[in-house]
Amino acid sequence: QLQLQESGPGLMKPSETLSLTCTVSGASISSSSFYWGWVRQPPGKGLQWIGSIFYSGSTYYNPSLKSRFTISVDTSKNQFSLKLTSVTAADTAVYYCAREKGTKLDNWGQGTLVTVSS
């Protein structure tokens, strides 16, 4: 059974760099059938796609977001990661990792809340 699990710090200070990791179990991240993506949701608001990565390392980002995001993959650990530089309070959100299969996001992690506060 496929499972995705986010991990990372829950509390950040402004200007710090956020690093989140998504550990995939029950499937190989090296499959050519999927992309692996990140979605965030500010408190009380809707879903915002951040970007995704293919196992080869090809990345795709939401053009409406500033280029502070970097997504990377570690196939040896079956993980992919998200880095966000210079965080502000506006980056406070639940961050989800998800598997992108074709046109849909068919499996999601439980999400991790990241709070940015001084």
Partner 1 sequence: EIVLTQSPGTLSLSLGERATLSCRASQSVSSSLAWYQQKPGQAPRLLIYDASNRATGIPARFSGSGSGTDFTLTISSLEPEDFAVYYCQHRSNWPLVTFGQGTRLEIK
Which residues contact partner 1 (rule: CB under 8 A)? 35, 37, 39, 46-49, 52, 60, 62-64, 96, 100, 102-106, 108-111
CB nearer partner 1, residue 63 or residue 76: 63
Beta bridge partners of 41: 94
Task: Find the shortest distance in angstroms from Cβ 60 to partner 1.
Answer: 6
Helix (H, G, I), strand (E, B) or coil at 68: coil
Task: Find the shortest distance in angstroms from Cβ 63 to partner 1.
Answer: 7
CB nearer partner 1, residue 49 or residue 80: 49
What are the distances in angstroms from CA 70 to CA 2, 12, 45, 65, 80?
24, 17, 23, 12, 11
Q: Residue 58: which residues within 8 A CB-CB, separation 6 or more?
A: none
Separation of first and last alpha carbons in the chain:
40
CB nearer partner 1, residue 81 or residue 112: 112
CB nearer partner 1, residue 46 or residue 118: 46
Task: Find the shortest distance in angstroms from Cβ 86 to partner 1.
Answer: 24
Task: Find the shortest distance in angstroms from Cβ 97 to partner 1.
Answer: 10
Neighbour-count burial of 83, counting CB atoms closer than 10 A to its CB (0-12 exposed, 13-18 middle, 19+ buried)? middle
